Amino acid sequence: MRKKKYVLNPDTFQYEPAKLDVKLVLRQAAYCMGLGFSLALGFLGYSAANGYDIEAEQLAEENAELAEQLAERTQEMKTLEASLDKIYKTDNYFFRSLLNVTPVDASVWNAGTGGSRAEFEGLPQELREAYLLQEKVAYKLDVQAESYEEINEVMAYKAEELKHLPAVRPVPGRVLSGFGYRADPFLGYSHFHAGVDFHGRFGDPVVAVGDGKVIAAGYDNLHGAGYGMQVEIDHGYGYVTKYAHLSAVHVKLGDVVPRGKHIGNVGSTGHSTGPHLHYEVIKNGVKVNPLDFFYSE
Ligand SMILES: [Zn+2]
């Protein structure tokens, strides 16, 4: 049940039940609204006259400054991206191709990021683009770092392989007879020369062309002893080298030798008309041109 309200009557000094004076309420309401409106107007007038326009001007200036800085940062980010693109190309066309590693595909490189996302809602277009660009640069950095890691691993593996490959000359002398068909002084007709003959004086040192293990050392018991005194080295990775017509052998079967190791001396043993080194490279069981493996002719 609603309680009845009483008010003090100043004339009678009696508490009497309160009557709702609609006119008074309306008058008071109008007064309040009028006061509020006046205050609001006065405030606005004050603001306009005393600094809010100055603040707006300052804000506009700051905004222009920020926009300019944002444009500058964006431009620098674009320069960074261009540098990264250059590194990517060098990586692909030099390092990775040199090491025979599959290149990083352009579709991977340019995947980056893109499109509009929820967190960009309400951001100015310039800021949105700056964020996307920054994400793209960070992404490319990640891809490139991963690529270098992979190259490092391959380098470590290839470095070992390169030490074993027959990539240097066994003697310094010039080539007397190349790989391929030629007239044979013993047979009297053209035959396939399966190696290279290097000029050398009797007793000149012959060196291992790469790291490996000696798998033949001494007189050739096959081929009609045609190779004379010889050394064969297994370099692994499918490569074997043969050094023939030697006058002396300084290694024995099973020796592990490094590149440059003095393994024997130039001679004229076996089917030979004079001191020289007959040198062969056998790749996966097939005799190939040794000159194809030198860094320089
Ligand atoms: Zn020969």
- One-character DSSP codes across 29-43: HHHHHHHHHHHHHHH
Instruction: Tell how far CA 32 is from the center of its chain.
Output: 74
- Tell me what pLDDT residue 48 has: 60
Closest by Cα among 209, 110, 201 to 165: 209
Taking ligand 1, which is a single-atom ion, which protein residues have CB atoms under 5 Å away?
197, 278
- pLDDT for 7: 64
Residue 287: CB atoms within 10 A of its CB come to 16
Calculate how far, in angstroms, residue 256's C-alpha sits from the geometric centre of ligand 1: 25
How buried is 266 (Cβ within 10 angstroms: 0-12 exposed, 13-18 middle, 19+ buried)? buried
pLDDT averaged per 10 residues in sequence order, the chain, 297 residues: 60 65 60 60 60 83 92 94 93 81 90 73 87 91 93 86 91 92 71 92 97 95 83 96 97 97 97 94 95 69
pTM of the model: 0.54
Find out whether 40 and 29 touch, Cβ atoms under 8 Å: no
CA 56 – ligand 1 centroid, Å: 93
CA–centroid distance, 271 to ligand 1, in Å, is 9
Measure 263 CA to ligand 1 centroid, in angstroms.
18
CA 193 to ligand 1 centroid distance, Å: 6
The confidence score (pLDDT) of residue 207 equals 98
Q: Pick from 184, 183, 215: which is nearest to 282 by CA?
A: 215
Residue 253 Cα to ligand 1 midpoint, Å, equals: 23
How far is the centre of ligand 1, averaged over its atoms, from the C-alpha of 268 (Å)? 11
Q: What is the model's pLDDT at position 100?
A: 79
Please state, in angstroms and rounded to a whole number, the distance separating the CA atoms of residues 217 and 206: 13
pLDDT confidence of residue 123: 86
Sign of the C-alpha dihedral, residues 69, 70, 71, 75? positive
C-alpha distances out from residue 44 to 38, 51, 58, Å? 10, 11, 19
Supply the pLDDT for residue 287.
96
